[in-house]
A and B are shown apart, each in its own frame.
Chain A
Amino acid sequence: MSVHKKKIFYAEDSDSLIKLMSYKLQNEGYDITVFTNGEEVFERALKEKPDLVILDLMMPIKDGLTVLKEIKSNPETESIPVIMLTTNAEEENILKALEMGADEYITKPFSTAVLLAKIKKIIG
């Protein structure tokens, strides 16, 4: 019997962090798709309807807030939970992200255990 794996989109421009988080999330039984910039996240989310999207705020080509806005303003994707990854210096952006519908945020530097706990809380 095949078990349905929860699908997570993870958009981040740090190669080392992508590898670490991919390993940790796969270990927890999630199906993870990574993006190194924000360009394709929304289009893919529209097609594949992931269970969760994790967005780094600062990304090349298209930043996290723009992608969040795209996801939350489309009726087909607005219910997908989004976690934003930010730095402490971006307090204004944290507020903006929460106003725009982000479900949770994590500030860098962060503990992977805390991020995993927040993911579990949102999608189980």
Chain B
Amino acid sequence: MIQTVIKNLQSIIGIIIPTGEKFLFILTQVIVFLSIVSFLLVIVVLILRLIDFLEQQRKNKFLAKWEKDFYEYLGSPDNPGKLLNGVKKSQYRFLLMVMRDLFSVLDGKDLESLKRIVNETSVYNFLLADLKSRSTKRIIRAAYFFGASDNKNVKALLFGHIYSKKSDVFIFCARALARINAMEYATAILLASRYQRNLSTDILISILLEYKSDVCNYLLERIRFEDDYYKQISIQIFRFHGFREAADEVLKIFQSSSNKKLLIECIKYAGSIECIDAIPYLWEHFEHPDIVIKTASIEALAKIGGTELAPVFVQRLYEESYEVNIAAAEALFALGEKGIKLLQVVAKSNADSKASAIAKMVLSENFIEIDDE
């Protein structure tokens, strides 16, 4: 019976399946092989767990001795070198683990104490060796600590890594340069970011925002010589810092560019700094066929404009695009009493159920009654 099934299978799949004793022999061999592999896997897992356990033990033993001195040192004017007396280099990774957690939550004298450990003790050379190594993990660790410690001596070494193909290396080294406020590398970071395939614009912006606000002056000086991508990112940085000095240059870009992303950034910037000079250009884009540009223009005008814009926003409530309707309703709300009254009128009317529903939604989101009488 089984042999008939095997023969049928052979004819279907075209492979000769051994039968009888030969079959049993091969089956035994496969089972033995799988048993050996499973056994080896169990051994590997046990070894890894043992290594992890021993590492944890070493860490706990070290921290039990060292932590008390470390907490005493934090915030004090003591020499950080004393803290490392008797600490072996192989134990530095444990102290760096503790310091890494604290760097992001401590400020004032505590933060200064942490910086001094990195900048004034043998930890500096330890991290320098990391930064010069080829290991991604070590480079990232060094970049983090040098950035957090505001160590200006390693700027050139950090710069050497920003054209790395590994996005983690780029992100950590660029962020460290920004934290150090190494202005001379801001353009290089922007240019190098193009070679990073998996880097989002949000991450790049978050890196550049680590710079102090004077990075805006630096970017402004170069903006006219650079391409649209550079301009788009720079304008976002200006907007986040509320940098009004870039208004003239951004308006020139606004008038001359046809790049959608760049136009949207110009519009958002004009709105955020309430740039009155931008109103004529915003009007031009108010009728733009692209919904995103039109929506951005409505939002910007709502921030800059006065109540005379209210009827225009009401018209936009009846347009086809839902995004435009929402933007118009929020713009009316932003205008204050007159805009809210108009929203209430639209909400009560049944002429266009979509416009009415959107007006009701914006009013209720802001806890305003539809009928104020």
Chain A residues at the B interface, C-beta cutoff of 8 Å = 14-17, 19-20, 23-24, 108-114
A24 → B minimal CB distance (Å): 7
Neighbouring A residues of B102 by C-beta, 8 Å: 16-17, 20
Q: When each residue 104-139 of chain B gets 1 if its CB lies under 8 Å from chain A and 0 otherwise, what string results?
A: 111111110000000000000000000000000000
Q: Which candidate, B13-21, B68-76, B226-234, B289-297, is the interface stretch facing chain A?
A: B68-76
Q: Is A17 a contact partner of B107 (Cβ separation < 8 A)? A: no
Closest A residue, CB atoms, query B101: A16
A40 → B minimal CB distance (Å): 23
Q: Is A16 a contact partner of B98 (Cβ separation < 8 A)? A: yes
Q: Is B106 a contact partner of A110 (Cβ separation < 8 A)? A: yes
Neighbouring B residues of A111 by C-beta, 8 Å: 75, 106-111
Q: Is A110 a contact partner of B105 (Cβ separation < 8 A)? A: yes
A19 → B minimal CB distance (Å): 7
Closest A residue, CB atoms, query B103: A109
Q: Is A23 a contact partner of B68 (Cβ separation < 8 A)? A: yes
Q: Is B108 a contact partner of A15 (Cβ separation < 8 A)? A: no
Q: Please, how many residues of chain B have a CB less than 8 angstroms from a CB on the other chain?
A: 16
- Is B67 part of the contact surface with A, judged by Cβ < 8 Å? yes
Chain B residues at the A interface, C-beta cutoff of 8 Å = 67-68, 71, 74-75, 98, 101-102, 104-111
Neighbouring A residues of B106 by C-beta, 8 Å: 109-112
13 further contact pairs, Cβ within 8 A, besides A23-B67, A111-B75, A113-B75: A16-B98, A16-B102, A17-B101, A20-B71, A23-B71, A24-B71, A108-B105, A109-B105, A109-B107, A110-B107, A112-B75, A113-B109, A114-B108
Q: Is B109 a contact partner of A17 (Cβ separation < 8 A)? A: no
Q: Is B74 a contact partner of A19 (Cβ separation < 8 A)? A: no
A16 to B63 alpha-carbon distance, docked (Å): 11
A24 to B101 alpha-carbon distance, docked (Å): 17
A115 to B119 alpha-carbon distance, docked (Å): 26
Neighbouring A residues of B111 by C-beta, 8 Å: 109, 111
Supposing A14-B101, A15-B101 touch, asked if A20 and B74 sit within 8 A by C-beta, the answer is: yes
A59 to B104 alpha-carbon distance, docked (Å): 16
Max chain B C-beta neighbours (<10 A), residue from A16, A17, A110, A114: A16
A21 → B minimal CB distance (Å): 9
- Give 3 closest A-B pairs by Cβ, nearest first: A111-B108, A16-B101, A109-B107
Task: List, sorted by A's number, 23 A–B pairs whose CB atoms are closer than 8 Å.
Answer: A14-B101, A15-B101, A17-B102, A17-B105, A19-B67, A19-B71, A23-B67, A23-B68, A23-B71, A24-B71, A109-B106, A109-B111, A110-B106, A110-B107, A111-B106, A111-B107, A111-B109, A111-B111, A112-B74, A112-B106, A113-B108, A113-B109, A113-B110
A17 to B107 alpha-carbon distance, docked (Å): 13
Supposing A19-B67, A20-B71, A24-B71 touch, asked if A109 and B104 sit within 8 A by C-beta, the answer is: yes
Neighbouring A residues of B105 by C-beta, 8 Å: 14, 17, 108-110
Closest B residue, CB atoms, query A113: B75
A19 to B101 alpha-carbon distance, docked (Å): 11
Neighbouring B residues of A16 by C-beta, 8 Å: 98, 101-102
Supposing A19-B67, A20-B74, A23-B68 touch, asked if A112 and B110 sit within 8 A by C-beta, the answer is: yes
A19 to B111 alpha-carbon distance, docked (Å): 16
Neighbouring A residues of B104 by C-beta, 8 Å: 108-109
A109 to B115 alpha-carbon distance, docked (Å): 14
Neighbouring A residues of B98 by C-beta, 8 Å: 16
